[in-house]
Amino acid sequence: MAVAKNIVVYTALFGKHSGLVEQKNFKGIDFICYTDRDDIQSKTWQIKKVELPVRGDATRSARYYKLNPHEHLDAKYDVSIWIDANVLILQNVHDLAYQWTKEHIVACFDHNVTVLDPRDCVYEECDAIIKLGEETGGFKDDPQVMLEQMQGYRDAGFPEHYGLIFSAVVVRKHKDKDAIALMQGWWHDLKNGSKRDQLSFNFNVWKLGLKDKVKVLPGDLRAGNPWFFMIRHRNDFRWKVFRTRLKKRLGLLKLKNLEPHKINTGK
């Protein structure tokens, strides 16, 4: 029986908005962090110092790496897992990553099962982003750019309630030709439209007819699955990571929405 190759977990961190969660050394997993910063150090992450691929735009630069693993990861990796810099891995997901991508090109979480803000529609996501910006006085992207992109999707026939990715974790068989086509379409829309990547993933799944090749992982990505745990962005994660791991060891870590669920199929 062939031995499964190492997988890679990777992230990108540009600018000063957050620190980096230190991970455990899991067998069969390599960790890579792309960054433009000199102050990022780690015992588990391989730190790759790079220039911003999108000049003057830290958000799109991070998402270039997020959406294009086929362009920058070493050819020795067949399976990759993107995680945002504030995500803690709770257990070794090496074997699971191969299982999740055995018959699928992408595995991801469903935004519609989140406890805080369930949604299954990119149009509703756009409205929620704009409403939040109006309430806080700080928009995550230009409302006009987002609205024009949504109108373009409507004009193309993209239906409402087709589904909405929670994109802080994306598992991919990234060298697969369909996966590459999906990532190229996703990147095209993000580069030329809104930088909010959750607005454009499901449209490209629909456009390319790849719904059956996308596996939806059960549970709430934030704190409702046994594999990943999101922590609020901060400069230093050490104390929070220590507390989270201790709670998990003592059986005190409360995880919600662990039951398998049936997602919206878009039909």
Give 207-234 pLDDT, tens digit per residue: 999 999 999 999 999 989 999 999 999 9
Per residue in 123-161, pLDDT (tens digit) is 999 999 999 999 999 999 999 999 999 999 999 999 999
Task: Name the phi and psi angles at 143, rounded to 5.
Answer: -55, -35
d(CA 26, CA 47): 17
> For the CA atoms of the chain, what is the radius of gyration?
18
Task: Answer whether 0.85 is exceeded by the pTM.
Answer: yes
Q: Which two tokens stand for residue 40?
A: 């990022």
Name the pLDDT band for 251 (thresholds 50, 70, 90): confident
Give a yes or no: residue 1 inside a domain. Answer: no
Query: What is the per-residue pLDDT for 5?
Result: 87
Please check whether residue 257 is in contact with residue 224, taking contact to mean a CB–CB distance below 8 angstroms.
Answer: yes
Query: What is the per-residue pLDDT for 223?
Result: 87
Name the pLDDT band for 67 (thresholds 50, 70, 90): very high
Task: Name the phi and psi angles at 97, rounded to 5.
Answer: -60, -40
Q: What is the mean pLDDT of the chain?
A: 93
Average pLDDT over residues 28-37: 97
Name the pLDDT band for 2 (thresholds 50, 70, 90): low
Please check whether residue 84 is in contact with residue 109, taking contact to mean a CB–CB distance below 8 angstroms.
Answer: no
Name the pLDDT band for 266 (thresholds 50, 70, 90): very low
Secondary structure of the chain as H, E, C letters: CCCCCCEEEEEEECCCCCCCCCCCCCCCEEEEEEECCCCCCCCCCEEEECCCCCCCCHHHHHHHHHHCHHHHCCCCCCCEEEECCCEEECCCCHHHHHHHCCCCCEEEEEHHHCCCCCCCCHHHHHHHHHHHHHHHCCCCCCHHHHHHHHHHHHHHCCCCCCCCEEEEEEEECCCCHHHHHHHHHHHHHHHHCCCCHHHCHHHHHHHHCCHHHEEEECCECCCECCCEEECCCCCCCHHHHHHHHHHHHCCCCCCCCCCCCCCCCCC
d(CA 211, CA 205): 6
Give a yes or no: residue 267 inside a domain. Answer: no
Q: For the beta carbon of residue 40, count every other beta carbon within 10 angstroms.
A: 15
Residue 64: name the closest of 188, 217, 248 by CA: 188
Q: Which two tokens stand for residue 18?
A: 């957050």
Q: Indicate which CATH number applies to the domain containing 171.
A: 3.90.550
Mean pLDDT check: name the lowest of 64-68, 100-104, 260-264: 260-264
What is the percent of the chain where pLDDT is above 70?
94
Give a yes or no: residue 225 inside a domain. Answer: yes
Bridge partner list, 32: 10, 46
Give a yes or no: residue 263 inside a domain. Answer: no
Q: Which two tokens stand for residue 42?
A: 């780690």
Give a yes or no: residue 265 inside a domain. Answer: no
Give a yes or no: residue 266 inside a domain. Answer: no
| Domains identified in the chain, total number | 1
Query: What is the per-residue pLDDT for 253?
Result: 85
Domain that holds residue 84: 7-249
Name the pLDDT band for 261 (thresholds 50, 70, 90): very low
